Amino acid sequence: MNPVAHTEQVAPIHVPSPAQRLFNVSRLHVANPYPTLVVPWAITAVIFGLNIAIAQMVVSAAGGTSNLDADAFQYNGGITWIVVFMLVVGVQAMSLTFPFALGFGVTRKDFYWGSTLYFVGLSVLYATGLTLLSWLERATDGWGIDMAFFQPWGLMENPLSTVWLLYATSLLGAFFVGAATSAVWVRWRAIGMYVFFSALAIIVVGAGWLITSTNSWAKVGEFFTSTSIEALALWSLPFTGIVALVGYTLIRRATSR
Amino acid sequence: MSTAIEVAGLTKHYGQVTAVDDVSFAIPEGKITGLLGRNGAGKTTLMSLLTAQEFATQGTIRVWGEDPVENAAVLSRMCFIKESQVYPDSFKGSHVLRSAQWFFPRWDVELAQELVDLFGVPTNRPVKKMSRGQRSMLGVVIGFASRADVTFFDEPYAGLDAVARKRFYDVLLEQYSESPRTVVLSTHLIDEASHLLEQVLVVHEGSLVIDANVDDLRGSAATLVGRASDVDLFATGRDVLDRSHIGGIASVTIAGLNDADKALAASAGLEVSTVSLQELIVRRTGANPAEEAA
C-alpha cells in the first residue's frame, strides 16, 4: 500500500439546499415505513373488524336492525385510538429520532422543521384516508347496519369536508403536543417532567376553580354546543401553532445527552 | 499544513462538574489525531462540542474558520461516530444505513456494503437487539462510508475482538491512504493504535495535558537505569515522570530528552531504553501503570 500512488483528489462536498435538508429529515422518520405508515392502518382494520363482528352479533341477536335504536352503532369511539397513537409518534420523534439525527450532523432547526413537514404530511395522509373510509361508510349505509365507525358521535350528519378537517387538525395537534412535551424531556430530563406536569395540573385545577367560582360552567358548555365543529377544529390551529413554536424553542437548545 | 479545527479556551460545565476545562488546541487537516485519556477524562464531551451536539459554556470552536453550532454547511462535512449513539426503536441496521446516505453527501453505497460484509454486521437485526460489538461495527461502517472531511471515532471498537480491531486498523489505513482526510480517534488501546496516529491530544480530568506530534513524543521520553547516584545526578532539573529504587539501583523515566541528552546518559553509564506511548501517557495522567495496563 503506497499512500502517495493511490491518493486521489476527492470532490468538495456539496451541501444540500435547505429544502432538500428538510425533506431528508422528513424521510428519516419513515426510513422504516412500518411503524407509522403500515401498522396504524393494520390495527385500525383489526379494531374495525372486531367492532363489525360485535355489531353483527347484536343485530343477529335482536333479529335485524329494525329492532334496534336508530343510533345503536353511532357512538363507537374506537377510531380515536389513532390520535393517541400519533401523540406517541410525536413523543418518539423528539426523544429518539432527535438524538439520532444529531449524530448524522443534522442541525436542530432542520430537524424540527423537517419533522414538522412529516407531521403535516402524516396528518393529511391519515385525514384523507379516514375521510375516504367515512365516504365508503356512508355509501354502504354504515356497512349495512347503520354503523358509524369512522365518523362517530353524529359526525355522519356533517359534510365529509368537516370530517377531514376534524381529523387533520386533531392529528396535527396530537403530533405537536407529543413533540413539545417530549422536547421538555429532551431538554431538562426528569426535572423538566416534574415541573411541566405540576404546572399543567395547577393550570387545569386553577381553570376549573376559576370557572366554578364565577359560575361559568354553563357558558363553557354553551361555547362547545353553539360553536360549529368546523370552528372548533379551526380554533385548535392557533393552539397547535403555539405548542409547535414552544417545541421549537426547547429543541433549539437541546442536546443528545 | 492547514488547520481543520481550532479550539480556544474551551470549557464545559455540567452543573458543578467541569467536564472540559479551558482547553486550547488545533487539529490539522488531513491527519489522524488520537484523542487519548482515561474514562471520564472528557473525550466524548470534547467531540460532542466539536460536532455541536453539546453547547460550550465558554471558549470558541472554529471548524474551517466557522462556528459549527447549527451550521449545516460545516456539520454536513463532518461525521461523529459516538459510542453511546441513540437509535430509533424500530430501526434495523439496514434503516440506519439507508438513511445515512441522505445526510452524508459523499456517502459511498458500495463501500458501505463491502464493509458490512467484511465486519459481518447483521443489517436485518434491530439495532436495539445488536450486541455492543455489532453496534460498534455498524458505527465503523458509517464512519468510513460517509467519507466525510472530518470523521470522529469515539471508542470505535468498544466490544470488538482482536480480529475485528485489526480489520478496523487495516480499513482505516487503506481509506486514509486512498483519500487522506482528517480523522480523530479516541481510544484506550494506545499501543495498539499508536502506529496509526500522527498527533495526540491527551486529556486528563477535563484538561489538555499533552498536545504533540507522535514521533516527537515517542522519541522524547526514555527510561534510564543505573547506579542510584548516577541516575539522580542526571535526573536533576529534568522532567521526571517516574522514579523507582531497588537497593543501589535506580530507574527513572524522563520526558523531553533529545539525542544528545540520551548520548550523555549512555556515556554516564546509564542504560537507556525507549518508553512506549502508552506507558508515557499512563504516567502523565497519573495512574498506577499496572492498573491501567490491565
C-beta atoms of B91 and A14 within 8 A: no
C-beta atoms of A35 and B174 within 8 A: no
Position B206, amino acid: G
Mark which of B168, B193, B213 sits at the end of a domain. Answer: B213
Structural Rg of chain B based on CA atoms: 21
Give the CATH number of the domain where residue B287 resides.
Answer: 3.30.70
Mark which of B188, B213, B238 sits at the end of a domain. Answer: B213
Q: Are residues B271 and B199 in the same domain?
A: no
What DSSP line would sit under B258-293, residue for residue? -HHHHHHHHHTT-EEEE--HHHHHHHHTT--HHHHH
* pLDDT for res A9: 63
Q: Are residues B141 and B265 in the same domain?
A: no
Question: How many CA atoms, within 13 angstroms, populate the side-chain half-sphere of residue B105?
Answer: 20
Mean pLDDT per 10-residue run, chain A (257 residues)? Answer: 51 91 97 96 96 93 86 86 96 96 97 98 98 97 93 92 97 98 96 96 97 94 92 96 98 91
Q: Are residues B283 and B198 in the same domain?
A: no
Q: Are residues B40 and B152 in the same domain?
A: yes
Structural domain span for residue B283: 217-293
Tens-place pLDDT, residues B54-90: 999 999 999 999 999 999 999 999 999 998 899 999 9
Q: What is the pTM of this model?
A: 0.92
Distance from the Cα of B92 to chain A's closest Cα (Å) equals: 8
Of B70, B73, B86, the CB nearest to A109: B70
Q: Are residues B24 and B152 in the same domain?
A: yes
- The domain segmentation of chain A, as residue ranges, is 19-51+62-252
Q: Are residues B176 and B233 in the same domain?
A: no
* pLDDT for res B294: 35
Distance from the Cα of A34 to chain B's closest Cα (Å) equals: 9
Number of domains in chain B: 2
Tens-place pLDDT, residues B113-130: 999 999 999 999 999 999
CA gap A94, A85 in Å, rounded: 15
Nearest residue to A232 via CA among A160, A173, A152 = A173
Closest Cα in chain B to A18: B72
Q: Are residues B153 and B241 in the same domain?
A: no
Q: Which triple of cell numbers denotes residue B80?
A: 461523529
| Residues of chain B with confidence (pLDDT) below 50 | 288-294
Give the CATH number of the domain where residue B68 resides.
Answer: 3.40.50.300
Q: Are residues B142 and B18 in the same domain?
A: yes
Closest Cα in chain B to A16: B105
Q: Are residues B26 and B103 in the same domain?
A: yes
The reply to whether ipTM tops 0.85 is yes
Mark which of B187, B213, B239 sits at the end of a domain. Answer: B213
